[in-house]
Amino acid sequence: MRAAPAPEEGSRPVPTAKMEKTKTPGVYKRGNRYVVVYRHKGQQHKQYARTYTEARNLKSQLVADISRGEHRQGGRQTFGEYARDWIDTYQGRTSRGFRESTRAGYRRSLEDKAIPYFEKRTRRLAEIEPRDVRQFVTWLFDEKAQGKRLSLQTVRNHVIAVRACLATAYEDGEIRSNPAAGIRISRPGGTIDEGEKRRALTKTELRAFLASVDPEWRLFFELLAHTGLRISEARELRWGDLDLVAGRLKVRRQIYKGEISEPKSRFGKRDLPLSPGMVVQLRARESWPDALVFATPTGEHLSANIVRRAVLDPAAKAAGVPWATFHTFRHTTASLLFDAGRNVKVVQEWLGHSDPGFTLRTYVHLMDDGLGDADFLDAATAAAQVSDPAGSLA
């Protein structure tokens, strides 16, 4: 490919500072903060202080409050203090565990949005109420406050991090309930997130885009439209994942923020058919099994951001679809499959969704929303009419 992008720089995990003992039992130093460890109702808890003196006083106050039965869990701890400790140790809420790439994403979200928001309003953990979370959502949608328009999915991701954090706080007894539970995410004046339509390219728009894109990149975008691969999956696709004799493509890995990993769920691992025309085009470029199918001149991973700016955006603008993103081609795949008569179960497996219900909710607008005609019912009842000349179905 001509003028191939440079590799995307991966993000390094943020090291977790160790807790160091101090002269006061139950008071530890962690980085530039102090941690007070204590037990309440048989469970271990932590609170934080900025100085050693403050930590010692806090420890004494906690012991006194607990002995008098007046301790209110999480009463002094701020959201930021709890969230920063939580993200270091969180292991997820399912048996699948918690990916380090997801941890990094949660950490960025909390540090960039949630912690500054709640700390500015001096919201202690135990004081956060559902209305505070709703106001946080409204703030995320405020273009002036954010400096740009955040997508519905971006806002949802920020709230997911807060909801998971507060769910753990509730389970730990730090708060009486999760104030983020049941919060509906909707753009002011718009519909809720589940109702947002995923925009796909029409066949005419897809042809216009492929005619506008740099010829050396046409196969890349054709493959996205054929397979519905996520950009993270396409960037990690290797020749060993292709069986060009059988016409199959295996999805087994992805790369995100510089980290190569398996798909998020077992449903993400999937085998997809390749069209005869796609097989011919791929054979003309075939390389050794370990090589990336789409790479820089030095064989490194493509940078999604650079490809978007240098290739996708100019072609989309020229084709009259400036709103198109990498994910638009995934939606286009779903549209093409439904148009070809494939059912929801097939589309779910093709795209690697874990739940056909999610596929239906996401793409129901791509299906025929009219009742159509009733001609097919004649054939369905024809046998009954032959066996019963009177035409009775009773």
* pLDDT tens column, 234-290: 999 999 999 999 999 999 999 887 888 888 778 889 999 999 999 999 999 999 999
So what's the pLDDT on residue 95? 59
Do 65 and 71 meet the contact criterion of CB atoms below 8 Å apart?
yes
* pLDDT tens column, 140-169: 999 899 998 888 888 989 999 999 999 888
Mapped onto helix, strand or coil, the DSSP state of residue 340 is coil
So what's the pLDDT on residue 73? 55
Overall average pLDDT of the 75-87 stretch: 84
Q: Give strand pairing partners of 44.
A: 39
Overall average pLDDT of the 32-49 stretch: 79
Per-residue confidence at 88, pLDDT binned at 50, 70, 90?
confident
CA distance 279 to 213: 20
So what's the pLDDT on residue 122? 67
CA distance 168 to 149: 30
* pLDDT tens column, 205-241: 999 999 999 999 999 999 999 999 999 999 999 999 9
Residues above pLDDT 90, as percent of the chain: 39
Contacts of 334 (CB under 8 A, 6+ apart): 198, 200, 228, 347, 350, 351, 359, 362, 363, 366
Q: What is the largest distance, in Å, between two alpha-carbon atoms of the chain?
A: 98
pTM of the entire predicted model: 0.55
Strand pairing class (33-40; 270-273): unpaired
Highest mean pLDDT out of 58-67, 336-345, 356-365: 336-345
Whether pLDDT at 64 is above 70 = yes
So what's the pLDDT on residue 104? 87
CA distance 205 to 42: 63
